[in-house]
Chain A
Amino acid sequence: MQPPKPTIDPLYLDYALLQLRRHYLLIDGKDDDEMEQVEEELTALWENLSEAQRQSLNGMGSDLNWIRRGGELSSKGPTSTDVSEQDVADLDRAELTRDWHAILHYLRICAPILLPESVAHIRATCYHELGLDLVAKVFDNFAATIPNQRQTSEV
């Protein structure tokens, strides 16, 4: 799977913000009329998204799932043994070229070999650079909750 190159237009932004709203409803354990409304609007917007936008926004959904799992990897996702040298090289190249969508994409593949706080910080940076500050804030806030065990052990 290649990284998507989506157009960030009002449709994309609407979907991203609704997806973020749903993320908070899930955290609050809500399954009410508002949840149904949000999901219906997401479904309606989905029909008009391009393939690249869909891939990107579902990826964002998985990133938010990761937050709700407390930084745990998904059971169907890649493990550390699945991450190849090429994947790491692709991530490095994306970082060098500041290709934010590609970084997010390869980060989803390389996450098993990275520290959760690094993953959170990088995702926050990417979403910020893409103009999605409210999404970036979720990852910034999450990073702040992760105890830095390396520093603790060094002391």
Chain B
Amino acid sequence: MARIVRPMIVDKAKNLPLVGSRSKCLGVRESGPYADIDVDSSEIVAVNRKGLSVSESWRSLPGHLIPEHLDDGHNGASGKNMAVFVHGTGGFVEGQVAVGLELCFKIGTASAGNLCPVVAVPVTQYQLDLATTRADWVIDES
């Protein structure tokens, strides 16, 4: 199973990522100008490599996506109320990550990708599949 990294807003009571459909949460934006996925008129998510953004390492991210407490004077870290969450072990390789979810690389890179639905499912199912992974994300800022 791939090791994937995603800085997200922390639910401080549980030290787990905040589930939601806003940016920097564990969940995708379903509509609007910054939608993470394509959804058809039947509320089915398209299987087209779009999904929840993840990366191989937080160090390759723009400063606003890196938690501010990690600012080392060079990396511009300035994300508010965030922590770096890691899911899984091993390499950053395409394939299944959790039930109903697989890692697909973004175009032109093997160090950033999306957590996508394996098959076309209702958007509510996809959001539930993502939320179900919540307990498996751990804070790892190494």
With both beta carbons as reference points, the residue of chain B lying nearest to A69 in the complex is identified as B71
Choose from B22, B63, B69 the contact partner of A76 (Cβ within 8 Å). B69
A6 contacts B by Cβ under 8 Å: no
27 sampled A-B residue pairs with Cβ under 8 A: A26-B78, A26-B80, A36-B22, A37-B33, A42-B62, A43-B62, A55-B74, A57-B62, A57-B63, A58-B74, A58-B75, A58-B76, A61-B62, A61-B76, A62-B71, A62-B73, A62-B75, A62-B77, A65-B71, A65-B77, A73-B73, A76-B69, A76-B72, A77-B71, A105-B74, A108-B74, A109-B73
The residue among A1, A58, A111 with the most chain B CB atoms within 10 A of its own CB is A58
B70 contacts A by Cβ under 8 Å: yes
B residues in contact (CB < 8 Å) with A: 22-23, 33-34, 61-65, 68-78, 80
Q: For residue A142, which residues in chain B have a CB less than 8 angstroms away from its CB?
A: none
Q: Is the interface of B mostly helix, strand, loop or mixed?
A: loop
Take A40-B23, A74-B71, A76-B70 as given contacts and tell me if A65 and B76 are in contact as well, using a CB distance cutoff of 8 Å: yes
CB pair B76–A75 under 8 Å, yes or no, is: no
Total A-B pairs, Cβ < 8 A: 83
A22 contacts B by Cβ under 8 Å: yes
CB pair A60–B76 under 8 Å, yes or no, is: yes
For the complex, give the distance between the alpha carbons of A76 and B34 in Å.
Answer: 32
Give the residues from 79 to 138 in chain A that come closer than 8 angstroms, CB to CB, to chain B: 105, 108-109, 111
Q: For residue A108, which residues in chain B have a CB less than 8 angstroms away from its CB?
A: 73-74
CB pair A78–B75 under 8 Å, yes or no, is: no
CB distance from A124 to the nearest CB of B (A): 18
CB pair B73–A78 under 8 Å, yes or no, is: yes
Given A39-B65, A40-B33, A75-B69, 15 further pairs, Cβ under 8 A:
A19-B64, A22-B64, A36-B22, A36-B34, A39-B23, A39-B64, A42-B64, A43-B65, A46-B62, A58-B62, A61-B77, A62-B74, A65-B77, A76-B73, A105-B74
With both beta carbons as reference points, the residue of chain B lying nearest to A31 in the complex is identified as B80
